[in-house]
Each structure stands twice: as C-alpha cells, then as structure tokens.
Amino acid sequence: MNPFSLAGRKALVTGANTGLGQAIAIGLAAAGAEVICAARRDCDETLRLIAAAGGTGSYLRLDFADPMAARDVFGGAGFDILVNNAGIIRRADAVEFSEADWDDVIDVNLKALFFTCQAFARDCLARGAAGKIVNIASLLSFQGGIRVPSYTASKHGVAGLTKLMANEWAAKGINVNAIAPGYIETNNTEALRADADRNRAILDRIPAGRWGRPEDIAGTATFLCSDAAGYLHGVVLNVDGGWMAR
C-alpha cells in the first residue's frame, strides 16, 4: 500500500474557501481523501478545483468567530483528518491595539483551534480510531513580527498547543503536528507584496529566492496527514524557502 495515499480517509479543512486552505483541500482530495471544506463563506471554487483534480468534496458552513463552532461536527461522522487553517489578522501599533482586535484574533486563531482539536480527538478516542491533526502555525510562532500583536500571540500559542496535544494523544493514535508557512502568495500577504521596499527586503532574505505558493504548503500537509508521517508528533515544520535557516 502507498504510505502517502489518503484513499478512504475523511478530512475536515477549515478556511478552505481560499489561499492555503483551498490548496490544502485540493491536495488532500487529489491524494484520495474525501474533503469537507469548512468556511464562513462558500467554497464553490474550491469544490470545482477538487472535482477537476478527480477528488471528492463538500461544503460545511462554519464561522470560527464562535470558537465552539465545530463542537458538534465530528461525533459519528467518521473523520480521520483535521486541518486547522482558518485564521485572521489585525494590524496596528502595539500602543494603539484595541481589545476588540485582540479578542477577535485570539478567538479564531487559538481558542477555536483548540476546541476544534478537542472535539475531533474526543470522537477519535471514543471510536478507538487513529487521527491526524495538522495546525497551521506561522513564522510568527518563532519571531515577533511588527504591528500584529494578537496574531503573534496566537501563533506562538498554536505551536505550544500542538506540542501539548501531541504529548497527550500520541500514544492514543492521534498525530498532532503543525506547519509554519513562510511568506506565501495569499490574500494575507498582498499588502506586503505590493510594497516594493518590503517585497525586496523579504525576497533578499529567502534563500529560495521566491515567495512560496499555496501548493508548497498543500504538499506538506498531505504528507503529515498520511501514514508516511506516522512517527511524527509535536513537530512544527517550517515551510519557508529557508527563511528561518538564514
């Protein structure tokens, strides 16, 4: 059997309507998984691309502004894979940052992620089934960044929770790992790429010499969801063109 195949697996990918989530959903489907695309907006484009790749997918509306949005999603539904990609960002100087922007980001990026993982793990443990969780962290799981205090705090938290959950669940058949994407061509980085000075400064530090593409993250996520990654637990894997090695 191909250890990289996801045939017969059922996956939930959050924030699957665009960007990294969309690419991950397509990648998992192309590897054979049935993919449920969860987002607060429609995933019609993602589903068309999944079908074009020969895969199977469907849409589930979830808005993680409610951190408990997925509490009832997993029970009895037979999910094998969870990819926590949904996330938001707010930008302002630390001295001006509002409580609302702090709470909004922490609720979606950290609190919702934890309680979604909890609901998924509870179902796996109740069924005695193996499971794969992949959380989307960030370079700001390691670095401080500028003007994104709640995002930085949330992504440091994602890295820590990934390790904690791996410690508790590894021996119970649930792999919990994370991907820390580098600078990827998505909606979140559009402003950076449009700023000629910032764009050049970023490219000058990336050994690969280019911005990442969503597909670069999709391949890593597919691997982490496969049996080939069966002995990986608590890893926060940089997919950054060499940024953190510089």
pLDDT digits (tens, 9 = 90+) for 130-144: 999 999 999 999 999
What's the pLDDT band for 150 if we cut at 50, 70, 90?
very high
- Judged against a pLDDT cut of 80, whether residue 146 lies above it is answered with yes
Please tell me the predicted confidence (pLDDT) of residue 213.
Answer: 97
- pLDDT tier at 1 (50, 70, 90 boundaries)? confident
Query: Is the predicted pLDDT of residue 32 greater than 90, yes or no?
Result: yes
pLDDT value at residue 188: 76
For residue 55, is pLDDT > 90? yes
Least confident of 13-27, 54-68, 123-137, 179-193: 179-193
pLDDT band at 187 (very low <50, low <70, confident <90, very high): confident
Q: Is the pLDDT of residue 222 over 80?
A: yes
Q: What pLDDT is stored for residue 227 in this prediction?
A: 98
Catalytic residue among 59, 151, 183, 231: 151
Whether 231 is catalytic:
no
Are 50 and 24 spatial neighbours (Cβ–Cβ below 8 Å)? no
> What residues does each domain of the chain span?
10-186+214-238
Return the CATH number of the domain spanning residue range 10-186+214-238.
Answer: 3.40.50.720
